[in-house]
Amino acid sequence: MLIANIVSANNVNVSCDFNVVKSLDLTVQGLPTLIVGWDYIKKHYPDYDIINRKISDNLYWTFKKTERRELHEEDIYNFVERVYKQLTNNIKYTFVDPILFDRKTIVKLIKKINKTNEIISYKHDSMLYVYFETFIFGFDLELIEFIGLNVEKFLLKIKNKSKVFLEKNMIFIEYKTRIENLDNQVKYIPYLYSIENE
């Protein structure tokens, strides 16, 4: 899964989600791009801003390590963080609280889940995250049990409905770095899985 480009003559230590290339010609169009090198920016983008370091909506720049090491490292860190956050901006998360939600709302939610064929679910400890379209619903299985529902039946229904059902031990290590860049919010794992496996 490629989520952004970094153009640099030298190696940049980032995850494999970033397309690190030596030339702007090798970037994937439409993805956020960071150009490393003040000399390149001065030559090709004369209207650059030395403080903001944003050229346009999806195009940023930073110094090389040899030009300004502290800004280079800070800008790369901020770019990586920004890209991961942009990735999840359109995803709406709802924690389904069976104690606070009224019955009508829960019935609507279950109908919505039953109508879609593209569910990806992820069980992490006592939480179950169900992703489809632009939604992630979080279910606390201990609360499900507390209100008297059968957790095993509930999980079985979700597993049978899911295109993919992921469990913590199967996938967490693979997504650990990505999740760290998303403030350790494991709820995004089914969404990240869907992007990677489109």
135 CB-contact burial (10 Å; exposed 0-12 / middle 13-18 / buried 19+): middle
pLDDT band at 141 (very low <50, low <70, confident <90, very high): very high
Extents of the domains making up the chain:
4-87, 92-196
Sign of the alpha-carbon torsion through 128, 112, 193, 35: negative
Question: Per-residue pLDDT averaged across 178-184, rounded?
Answer: 85
With tokens 């693979």, the residue in question is 174
- Residue-wise pLDDT for 106-135, tens only, equals 778 888 888 888 899 999 999 999 999 999
Mean pLDDT for the chain overall: 90
Phi first, then psi, for residue 5 (nearest 5°) are: -110, 145
Q: Does residue 195 or residue 131 have the better pLDDT?
A: 131
- Residue 180 has a pLDDT of 85
With a pLDDT cut of 70, the percent of the chain lying above it is 99
More confident residue, 35 or 184: 35
Amino acid 31: pLDDT: 95
pTM: 0.81
Query: What average pLDDT does the segment 4-30 reach?
Result: 93
DSSP-based three-state secondary structure for 165 = strand
Beta bridge partners of 87: none
DSSP state of 197: T
* Percent of the chain whose predicted confidence (pLDDT) is above 90: 64
Q: Is 93 helix (H, G, I), strand (E, B) or coil?
A: strand
Residue 101 pLDDT grade (very low, low, confident, very high; cuts 50, 70, 90): confident
Please report the pLDDT score of residue 73 as a whole number.
Answer: 94
* Strand partners of residue 45: none
* Number of residues in the chain: 198
Which of 18, 21, 19 is closest to 7 using CA atoms?
21
Determine contact, residues 186/129, Cβ cutoff 8 Å.
Answer: yes
Of 30, 61, 27, the C-alpha closest to 44 is 61
* pLDDT at 128 (0 to 100): 96
- State yes or no: pLDDT of 169 exceeds 80: no
- Asked if pLDDT for residue 170 goes beyond 80, the answer is no
Q: What residues pair up with 129 in beta bridges, in sequence order?
A: 122, 138
Neighbour tally for 153: CB within 10 Å: 10
In order, the DSSP letters of 107-120 are HHHHHHHHH-S--E
Among 70, 37, 30, 31, smallest CA distance to 53 is for: 37
